[in-house]
Structure 1
Amino acid sequence: MSSSSTSSGEGERESVVKKKKEGLGWMEWVRGWFYLAYEMMFQRIMASHLHNPMHLPPLNDITCIVTGSTSGIGLQIARQLAESGAHVVMAVRNPKAANELIQKWQEEWSGMGLPLNIEVMELNLLSLDSVAKFAEAWNARSGPLHVLINNAGIFSIGEPQKFSKDGYEEHMQVNHLAPALLSILLLPSLIRGSPSRIINVNSIMHHVGFVDTEDMNVVSGKRKYTSLVGYSSSKLAEVMFSSVLHKRLPAEAGINVLCVSPGIVQTNVARDLPKIVQAAYHLIPYFILSPQEGSRSALFAATDPQIPEYCDMLKADEWPVCAFISQDCRPTNPSEEAHNVETSYKVWEKTLEMIGLSSDAVERLVEGEEVKCRYGVHQQ
């Protein structure tokens, strides 16, 4: 064979290798949907060993921020943490609703111990300015933060594509970009609370997600936008970003990053479902978890004493993904696509660009330096 034909063959092979992946392969897609169906059918059986509500250790001297805590899983997380003695900050879009909940909980808790240590701070994840201002206000207290639970999320089923005032597709902003910005900007407080944890309430729907880092808003036309595409892509992006953040944080920072799946849960999302799907929800209540049951994986990740050791082991083994806890409170593996290290780093870089942070923001915050963000009070 001539040298020219050899070099031609090598060039062809290189072009194949470098060909950009534009979606999940059909095998990955089928595997993802099979996993979802399996989870729905057997999640209650797999979690049958768990108590409901979950037994938590005393959490006095622990401070937790919980986003989206006025309904569903977040409401259960906030209340159970507070009843176990934690100082809970409800980071919510509707402070009035949160304060009404606190008043109700205090009345129901009266006589059972010290008053619940809960407060409310306003946070709107559809505004990156709001996220940055929240972090600035919290960090200004110069106190410790032990647990950040990024619970708030949206799944606008069947609705047309919408964009935030920041210009980002709403699922991507609420489910990924805003929690990513919040997590990084709160690093100074998390370091003061070390050993601390960042817990991202994810979804098994990330198994059917795909992230195109050149089209995070799904506007290029290469993929047809649906609410399912928006939601599953945002949840996969969150896992990928969390995996890189887990690796970038040095051991001395004492911060562990985890994702958890609550399972398939009866929450406010159901009211946006098509009527036929809502009917299915009512026909198969045995298979669908309640919000209280769905809160268990996040509560486990926030309080189990073996979590730091497990996260450290994954980091030492150079495992490609962060810790992922399933709805039965056992470690599990996120999707095959989540293991794509190259794409994960592209998601990391693109996310930092979109949320207005420099590529070395994490390292500088860990070193105790100030970092500028294009959002919030101290804008560039």
Structure 2
Amino acid sequence: MATKRKQKKKEGLGWIEWLRGWMYLIYEMLFQRISASHLHNPLPLPPGLNDLTCIVTGSTSGIGRETARQLAEAGAHVIMAVRNTKAAHQLILDWQNQWSLSGGGLALPLNIEVMELDLLSLDSVARFAQAWNARLGPLHVLINNAGIFSIGEPQKFSKDGYEEHMQVNHLAPALLSVLLLPSLIRGSPSRIINVNSVMHYVGFVDTEDMNVVSGKRKFTSLVGYSSSKLAQVMFSSVLHKRLPAESGICVLCASPGIVQTNVARDLPKIVQAAYHLVPYFMFNAQEGSRSALFAATDPQVPEYCELLKADEWPVCAYLSQDCRPTNPSEEAHNLETSFQVWEKTLEMVGLPSDAVERLLEGEEVLCRYGAHRE
């Protein structure tokens, strides 16, 4: 019996892991403002960002909007990669007017542009990457910020056939990160920043059931969201290992903390009430953007990533909401599952298993989606 038990495949978090995850979440909720009290708001960014080119996904609302605006005001060239291009153009007009009125207009206008990207379509992701790579210019920072948490809603699938949380929060950013490697190599030293979530601490990934349709686990939006965020950490950790130090590309995950953004509109009434009762504990979008901005601009980040690589640490760099390194969940350290997530993800997004190695060698890699769709 003992032998059989050892061989049995893990089908979820153990109750101790589950309880530890929830304790961490509650602690984060109650004490995040105290632990981040040393940070200024907005976060002061280092000088010399004028030469930086940054792509920020989902930058028309919430954390992404703050991230894009602050990078642009610090002088960076920002590409808003968004589904709603009209809203993005309107934001740029508003920001430019505010910038001029505040006295910043004495300098050059904000250097922002808009490109269409719909993470619910892997075709759109592949086309975006192809259009950007075709410029043959450098990319210094990719911030995979866009995400969804459809709280309380029934299970939905993209037109590509994947559960929406898994596609938007993990599969599409993973595809984008790999396909943009040629531009990130040109921009080296460069960074891939994945805006993650403390919710990954209660996540579990079954690589044989990424869509949560087998019936082994009951689907809830919490299951969909937390597992997609854990998958993102696991994939990032393997990508971190696959990129040699000489490539000059860092891979990081950053938790914004527990932030009061548009997601609150989808919450059940009782949870919305709790949201309104504890505004002191919640971060606003500007506070929530600090960890991603720090990950994207702090000069010590590459050194930290290299240190982890040299020590063969099992997970990628993970920054907490207080802009300090922290440890992802116990399950995120499961290397066997991480490599399974890596292989399954590449298969699902239509890339060959050796895509990263070939792109690093300067070879062309065909994706099942986008212009090269078969």
TM class, shorter-length: over 0.9
Unaligned runs of 5+ residues in structure 2 are none
Report how many residues are paired: 369
Note the 1:299-378 alignment, pairs <5 A: 299-378=293-372
Residue of 237, 241, 261 corresponding to 1:243: 237
**Cα offsets for 1:165-214 (capped at 9, x unmatched):** 00000000000000000000000000000000000000000000000000
Residue of 55, 64, 70 corresponding to 1:74: 64
C-alpha separation between the residues in 1 aligned to 2:130 and 2:145?
A: 20
Counterpart position of 1:285: 279
Residue of 100, 111, 116 corresponding to 2:110: 116
Q: Is 1:35 equivalent to 2:29 in the alignment?
A: no
- Provide the TM-score with structure 1 as the length reference: 0.96
Residue of 11, 15, 23 corresponding to 2:4: 15
Higher gyration radius (CA): 1
Counterpart position of 1:48: 37
Counterpart position of 1:3: none
Unaligned runs of 5+ residues in structure 1 are 1-11
What's the offset of the Cα at 1:106?
Answer: 0.5
C-alpha separation between the residues in 2 aligned to 1:199 and 1:126?
A: 20
C-alpha separation between the residues in 1 aligned to 2:288 and 2:144?
A: 14
C-alpha separation between the residues in 1 aligned to 2:2 and 2:304?
A: 40
**Cα offsets for 1:82-110 (capped at 9, x unmatched):** 00000000000000000000000001111
Q: Is 1:89 equivalent to 2:72 in the alignment?
A: no
Note the 1:92-111 alignment, pairs <5 A: 92-110=82-100, 111=103
What's the offset of the Cα at 1:14?
Answer: 4.5
Quick one: percent identity of the two aligned structures? 83
What's the offset of the Cα at 1:373?
Answer: 0.3
Q: Is 1:60 equivalent to 2:54 in the alignment?
A: no
Letter in 2 for 1:74: G
Q: List, as ranges, runs of 4+ consecutive aligned residues in structure 1 with deviation greater than 6 Å.
A: none
What's the offset of the Cα at 1:379?
Answer: 2.2
SS in 2 for 1:49: coil
**Cα offsets for 1:228-283 (capped at 9, x unmatched):** 00000000000000000000011111100000000000000001001111111111
The CA RMSD measured in Å over matched residues stands at: 0.8
SS in 2 for 1:119: strand
